[in-house]
Amino acid sequence: MARAVSTRRTVVFTIAAWIIALIIFFPILYTIITSFKSETEAIQGFNIVPSGTVESYQAVQAQSNYFKFFLNSVILSLGSTLLALLIAVPAAWSMAFSPTAKTKDILMWMLSTKMMPAVAVLVPIYLLFRDFGLLDSRIGLTVMLTMINLPIVIWMLYTYFREIPGEILEAARMDGASLWGEIVYVLTPMAVPGIASTMLLNIILAWNEAFWTIRLTTTNAAPLTAFIASFSSPQGLFWAKLSAASTLAIAPILIMGWFSQKQLVRGLTFGAVK
């Protein structure tokens, strides 16, 4: 909708948007600032100009191997995303293109599993992991992350696939495309943006998941979330080190998110406006 907006209004709104964005972003910004302070500076109260020391980063790396955690984060988030897509694509596909009377109920049921607090199933899951020898294993955690994000992945893909008009598939069928031809030439090219943004979102969700990754791992399979948590322990709180660890943990996903923001926004607002 084209509506004439005066320059003054534009300026006011732009400033307001920047202020709100800054407020939302401030905790992350302050974490980054704090990571460049010494421990003494960090506990001296509010100060947004750090001395610029990198001693916290050195200490963090000396204390525990960042790259091991980083690698685990990559393996867990990519692994669980691929596994989730492997299950969700056919599931969403069948629900979108040949729905039955129960499709809506199944979708709601899947979503309802996300309404339960995770802690409610902590004990049974923990015991199952213990009995199957999955504690602190990458495979166990990959499966766990897949399960918790699967409902969202299926829902997102379902809405995407629903947007592909059935008539286009019928047209392909009339045009002589085999099922394979239909998938390769028509369905996939049309679904790729949807699958891609679902994948990005799921990687972010898996990367940031902290409840299960911290509780089900100790050292071998521990990702960056556990790496951060490990700096808030026995000897007390070391704000600068904790901030340095947090910055290191969120940096990769922040960079990835920055580069893929166009895809992400499209993914998250898909179907909102027809």
Partner 1 sequence: MGKIILKKVNKSFGATQVIPGIDLTIEDGEFVVFVGPSGCGKSTLLRLIAGLEDTTSGSIEIDGRDVTGEAPARRGLAMVFQSYALYPHMSVRNNIAFPLKMAKMDQAAIDKKVTDAARVLNLTNYLDRRPGQLSGGQRQRVAIGRAIVREPSAFLFDEPLSNLDAALRGTMRLEISELHHQLKTTMIYVTHDQVEAMTMADKIVVLNAGNIEQVGSPLDLYNKPDNLFVAGFIGSPRMNFVKGEAAKPWNAPTVGIRPEHLKLSKESGTWKGLVGVAEHLGSDTFLHVNAEGIGMMTVRAGGDFPVTHGDTVYLTPEEGRIHRFDDKGLAIR
Position of tokens 């997102």? 156
How many residues are listed for the chain in this entry?
274
Does residue number 133 form part of the binding site for partner 1 (CB under 8 A)?
no
Residue 272, burial from CB neighbour count under 10 angstroms (0-12, 13-18, 19+): exposed
- Binding to partner 1 (CB under 8 A): which residues in 183-212? 185-186, 189-190
Which one, 11 or 184, has the nearer CB to partner 1?
184
Does residue number 68 form part of the binding site for partner 1 (CB under 8 A)?
no
Half-sphere exposure of 149 (CA within 13 A, CB side): 33
Contact status, residue 219 vs residue 137, Cβ threshold 8 Å: no
Which one, 165 or 271, has the nearer CB to partner 1?
165
Helix (H, G, I), strand (E, B) or coil at 216: coil
Q: Which two tokens stand for residue 162?
A: 């629903």
Spatial separation of the C-alpha atoms in residues 150 and 34, rounded to whole Å: 36
Contact status, residue 48 vs residue 37, Cβ threshold 8 Å: no
Does residue number 131 form part of the binding site for partner 1 (CB under 8 A)?
no
- Binding to partner 1 (CB under 8 A): which residues in 139-178? 165, 167-168, 170-178
Per-residue contact string for residues 71-110; x = within reach of partner 1 by CB under 8 A:
----------------------------------------
Spatial separation of the C-alpha atoms in residues 177 and 168, rounded to whole Å: 12
Does residue number 45 form part of the binding site for partner 1 (CB under 8 A)?
no
Which one, 68 or 173, has the nearer CB to partner 1?
173
Q: How many positions of this chain bind partner 1 (CB under 8 A)?
A: 17
Among 78, 82, 143, 181, binds partner 1 (CB under 8 A): 181
Q: How far is the CB of 198 from partner 1 (least distance, A)?
A: 18
Q: Which residues bind partner 1 (CB under 8 A)?
A: 165, 167-168, 170-178, 181, 185-186, 189-190
